[in-house]
Structure 1
Amino acid sequence: MANTHNIVWHQHMVDRQLRESHNGHKGAVLWFTGLSGSGKSTLAGAIEHQLASMGSKTYLLDGDNIRHGLCRDLGFSEADRQENIRRVGEVAKLMVDAGLIVATAFISPFQSDRQKVRELFSPNQFFELYVDTPVSVCEQRDPKGLYQQAREGKIKQFTGIDSPYEAPLNPDLHLDGQQPISDSLSQIIALLLRHHIIQIDY
């Protein structure tokens, strides 16, 4: 742990509330979790596109993209996965402070890690969206060929095969990973409206 004795938090004149007023909506994170191939990245991209088309200020944090930069030094051990999620949580927190609606697409297999990220945020800023897709369906989709490699022993500690996935017990939104994308998007928009993150003027 770094020595933080001489580090002091500075409160700046421009705060989240002012940024949110300029953006026309509140900052929040939509934390998509689910197995590889569950459809979470597709949904995260689709909701970002829909929100952006509505004029919302958004950003998408994708698991693979993050590992090309911020987390390129991490592997897939349990400790590295925990650090991966910790870093993403801190980045998402900064973006929410900027007043953005942030969609994240990470397997984030451990309940304790997701809970730690939730605790970084104030109420109504963090929403856990569980994309519930059976592993058999994910394996049939297998867009990257990862399940086959895991079955063949070429990939170790693969979630859903030889590493556990702890499904959310009480997610903010439980999405059927086999339903039409449009149905999931409607549920997500309804969630954001219900919590007054966005407004729709008729």
Structure 2
Amino acid sequence: MEDNKNETSNIVWHQSDITKEDRQKLHGHKSLMIWFTGLSGSGKSTIANALQHELYKDGSSVYLLDGDNLRHGINRNLTFTEEDRKENVRRTAEVGKLFVDAGVVVLAALISPYAADREQARILFEPEEFVEVYVKCSLQECEKRDPKGLYKRARLGEIKQFTGISQPYEEPQNPEITIDTTVMSVKECVQEIQSYLKNKIHLREEE
């Protein structure tokens, strides 16, 4: 551990001549991370992808970090233990921070079941640069949808570490946005988020 500390102390941050504000001006809008959290099957990826499409159509530089996709690459060595889920969130947040620094609107769609991990992600960003979207959906409804057949496998004991069945999900207490997909369509969810970005974040200066 001491060697680690010594090695870290020898690493100096190199300041770029081009700032985040410069890049935002180039893109023509603010940059931020929009973090979608919710149970498997709640609609996180579907809504995030639909929002990405609308922001792109509006001329925003936008990128989606999907939890499953990340586990094919940067997070492929992680399991679903509590410790690895924490690391999954940490890496995603750090990648997201780079996108925000690059002047991009970045979306992240992860179950991210633990409140403390989501809070650690939040503190990496400036105020208003992190928007938590709680994609609310009851376990019963998610299990009914079961688009990937994961709940069925979890109930059969084929998946040992599954959020909502054998592992907890801690609902956000104060998210910036809550969308209830049991009663709202994808279009309605996207419109609500867009309204927040326009009226609260002022994504574009003319807004």
2: CA distance between counterparts of 1:198 and 1:167?
31
Structure 1 residue 161, shift from structure 2 partner? 0.5
In structure 2, give the amino acid aligned to 1:154: E
* Corresponding residue for residue 87 of structure 2: 83
Aligned-CA RMSD value = 1.1
Match of 1:195 among 189, 198, 201: 201
* Corresponding residue for residue 185 of structure 1: 190
Paired positions, count: 201
TM-score, normalised with respect to structure 2: 0.95
Match of 2:55 among 39, 51, 55: 51
- The 3 A distance-change label for structure 1 pair 54 and 7 is same
Structure 2: segments with no counterpart, 5+ residues = none
TM-score, normalised with respect to structure 1: 0.97
Match of 2:127 among 104, 123, 131: 123
Match of 1:138 among 142, 156, 162: 142
1: CA distance between counterparts of 2:205 and 2:37?
25
Give the 3-state SS of the residue equivalent to 1:4 in structure 2.
helix
* Corresponding residue for residue 21 of structure 1: 25
* Corresponding residue for residue 68 of structure 1: 72
* Corresponding residue for residue 111 of structure 2: 107
1: CA distance between counterparts of 2:21 and 2:58?
20
- The 3 A distance-change label for structure 1 pair 199 and 53 is farther
Identity %: 51
How do 1:142-157 residues align onto structure 2 when only pairs under 5 Å count? 142-157=146-161
Structure 1 residue 124, shift from structure 2 partner? 0.6
> Moved runs in structure 1, 4+ residues, more than 4 A?
none
Structure 1 residue 149, shift from structure 2 partner? 0.2
1: CA distance between counterparts of 2:196 and 2:60?
15
Deviation string, structure 1 residues 67-114 (Cα, Å, up to 9, x no partner): 001011110110000001000000000000001001110000000000
Structure 1 residue 143, shift from structure 2 partner? 0.6
Match of 1:34 among 19, 35, 38: 38
1: CA distance between counterparts of 2:83 and 2:204?
36
Match of 2:9 among 2, 5, 9: 5
Deviation string, structure 1 residues 117-137 (Cα, Å, up to 9, x no partner): 000000010000000000111
Deviation string, structure 1 residues 49-70 (Cα, Å, up to 9, x no partner): 0000110000000011000010
How do 1:93-104 residues align onto structure 2 when only pairs under 5 Å count? 93-104=97-108
1: CA distance between counterparts of 2:101 and 2:160?
37
Structure 1 residue 200, shift from structure 2 partner? 6.0
